[in-house]
Amino acid sequence: MSALDQVDRHILRVLRRDARISNASLAQEVGLSASACLRRVKILEQEGIIRGYTAIVGQSAQDEGIAVIIQITLERQTEDYFRRFEAAVRKHAEVRECYLMTGDADYLLRVNVEHPHDFERIHKDILSVLPGVSRIHSSFSIRNILAGR
Question: With contact defined as beta carbons under 8 Å apart, do 141 and 68 qualify?
Answer: yes
CB contact at 8 A, 51 and 16 = no
Mean pLDDT of 84-92: 95
Instruction: Please state whether the predicted TM-score (pTM) of the whole model is above 0.75.
Output: no
CATH of domain 61-140: 3.30.70.920
Domains of the chain, by residue range, sit at 6-46, 61-140
Q: Residue 126: left if φ>0, alpha if ψ -120 to 50, beta else—which one?
A: alpha
* CATH placement of domain 6-46: 1.10.10.10
Mapping DSSP to helix (H, G, I), strand (E, B) and coil, where does residue 87 land? helix
Q: What is the pLDDT of residues 27-63, one digit of tens each?
A: 999 999 999 999 999 999 999 999 998 876 665 554 5
Q: Are 67 and 141 in contact (CB under 8 A)?
A: yes
Task: Assess contact for 77 and 84: CB atoms under 8 A.
Answer: no
Q: Encode pLDDT of 111-149 as tens digits.
A: 999 998 999 999 999 999 999 999 999 999 998 887 665
